[in-house]
């Protein structure tokens, strides 16, 4: 049992399973089949247990099987933390939620190749519906994490405790195997459209605006002209409010229009847009939208590729360091000012687990050793921005058994985590007594590690 719990913790049940489970339930579109447990004001559904079990098996690559009862106890732990976070007035800002949502969207876009595939796979109508669901899940995740931090804020470990923890694992032959970790730096040159091409797009949108104002169908124009990939599903129409996860420029224009009015062309990171306000529903706006992205010529792409290939040669020949080249040439605003260092969107740290890299990037960097650079390659953002890149392997640690000297920081983190888990377990034991918990009869036969079945005792 303890081994399974440790594996569950290692695959981050809070931040990942709650998200995937919720999306899986959405995708299945099944009627809710009953409440398994009520913890305070929070519930665990029967369908939650099944979906989270499937995800545990997937994330552990089939190495563990977990029973309904074991899964339920893990979910009850999370709901207990979420319930008391509200009681303790733990605050969650919209900015925190938005950051988590955006990181999750980035992660799943990498996994599936495009936002459209993520939306389709999980059964949502569009990206906005997906983000709304994500926002609910991530808000609870943040509540849980902040409550855990509150409980363990005074917990620390001494070097002696770290040594004892390591020796204990070694004596039991349970030293962990750390996966390969890497740090990457990138240099990016963007391929931008010409001024003439941008003018062509703006004039085309102005022409469409005029045609619609003279009586032609905005929806038909969107289907024919829009570069928005969702246009085939929604005809370019969206319902938004001021909290919707749309880009700032889009919302500002949408809320500046009167019903029936069409905006002038405006620019965002996605390209150029026009919006028609169809109607106002309370705090919501129903808008129709056309997006057009300026084309980038093959000659422009070829010039950028040739330019970055020369930069790469200068780095390899020792004429300039990678970091100096980034500062001088790179056009990526997120990494230009930190030597090109790429931040892991899931953890906010610089380390990446090599085995969990997106397949296309993994193929480029898997064989790189520290200090080696990829060949020049083409990339494109979900907004349609085109670019050429080179990536250097800043640091690399291959898969290995834990070593007390080399991995002291990691081992200290594990020892600290164990001590925090023990404190949270003590806290849970006390809070269960004071918290309303109702377990469905189907699960009263379960043997739990904690006294969740107090109502029957």
Predicted pLDDT of residue 229: 82
Contact between residue 421 and residue 151 where contact means Cβ atoms under 8 Å apart? no
Domains 181-192+297-398 and 195-292 share a fold: yes
Q: pLDDT tens for residues 134-179?
A: 998 899 999 999 999 999 999 999 999 999 999 999 999 999 998 8
CATH of 195-292 given 3.10.50, 3.30.470, 3.30.310, 1.10.3470 = 3.10.50
Q: pLDDT tens for residues 70-100?
A: 999 999 999 999 999 999 999 999 989 988 8
Domain ranges (residues) in the chain = 2-177+403-456, 181-192+297-398, 195-292
CATH 2.60.120.260 applies to domain 2-177+403-456: no
Predicted pLDDT of residue 331: 95
Span 181-192+297-398: which CATH code? 3.10.50.40
Q: pLDDT tens for residues 195-253?
A: 999 999 999 999 999 999 999 999 999 999 999 888 877 888 988 888 777 888 999 99
pTM over cut 0.75: no
């Amino acid at each position: 049992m303890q081994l399974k719990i440790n594996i569950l913790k290692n695959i981050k049940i809070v931040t990942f399973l709650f998200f995937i489970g919720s999306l899986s339930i959405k995708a299945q579109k099944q009627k809710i089949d009953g409440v398994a447990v009520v913890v305070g004001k929070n519930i665990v559904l029967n369908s939650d247990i099944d979906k989270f079990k499937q995800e545990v098996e997937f994330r552990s690559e089939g190495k563990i099987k977990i029973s309904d009862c074991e899964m339920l106890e893990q979910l009850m732990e999370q709901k207990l933390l979420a319930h008391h976070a509200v009681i303790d007035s733990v605050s969650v800002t919209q900015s925190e939620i938005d950051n988590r949502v955006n990181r999750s969207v980035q992660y799943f876009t990498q996994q599936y190749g495009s936002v459209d595939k993520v939306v389709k796979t999980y059964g949502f109508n569009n990206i906005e519906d997906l983000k709304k669901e994500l926002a609910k899940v991530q808000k609870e995740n943040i509540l849980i994490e902040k409550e855990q931090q509150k409980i363990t804020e005074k917990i620390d470990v001494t070097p002696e405790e770290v040594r004892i923890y390591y020796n204990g694992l070694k004596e039991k032959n349970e030293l962990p195997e750390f996966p390969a970790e890497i740090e990457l730096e990138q240099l990016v040159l963007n391929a931008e459209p010409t001024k003439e091409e941008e003018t062509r797009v703006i004039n085309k949108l102005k022409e469409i605006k005029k045609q619609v104002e003279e009586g032609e169908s905005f929806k038909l124009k969107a289907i024919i002209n829009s570069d928005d990939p969702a246009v085939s599903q929604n005809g370019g129409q969206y319902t938004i409010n001021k909290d919707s996860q749309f880009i700032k420029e889009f919302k500002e224009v949408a809320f500046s229009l009167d019903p029936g009015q069409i905006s002038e062309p405006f620019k965002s990171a996605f390209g150029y847009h026009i919006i028609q306000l169809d109607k106002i529903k309370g705090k919501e706006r129903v808008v129709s939208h056309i997006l057009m992205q300026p084309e980038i010529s093959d000659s422009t792409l070829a010039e950028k590729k040739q330019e970055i290939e020369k930069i790469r040669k200068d780095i390899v020949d020792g004429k300039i360091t990678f970091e100096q080249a980034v500062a001088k040439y790179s056009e990526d605003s997120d990494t230009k000012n930190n030597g090109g260092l790429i931040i892991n969107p899931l953890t906010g740290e610089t380390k990446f687990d090599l085995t969990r890299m997106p397949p296309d990037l993994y193929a480029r960097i898997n064989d790189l050793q520290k200090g080696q650079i990829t060949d020049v390659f083409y990339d494109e953002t979900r907004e349609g921005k085109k670019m050429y890149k080179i990536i250097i392997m800043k640091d690399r640690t291959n898969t290995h058994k834990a070593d007390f000297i080399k991995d002291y920081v990691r081992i200290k983190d594990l020892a600290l985590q164990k001590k925090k888990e023990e404190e949270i377990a003590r806290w849970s034991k006390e809070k269960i007594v004071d918290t309303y918990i109702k377990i469905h009869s189907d699960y009263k036969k379960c043997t739990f590690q904690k006294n969740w079945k107090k109502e029957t005792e």
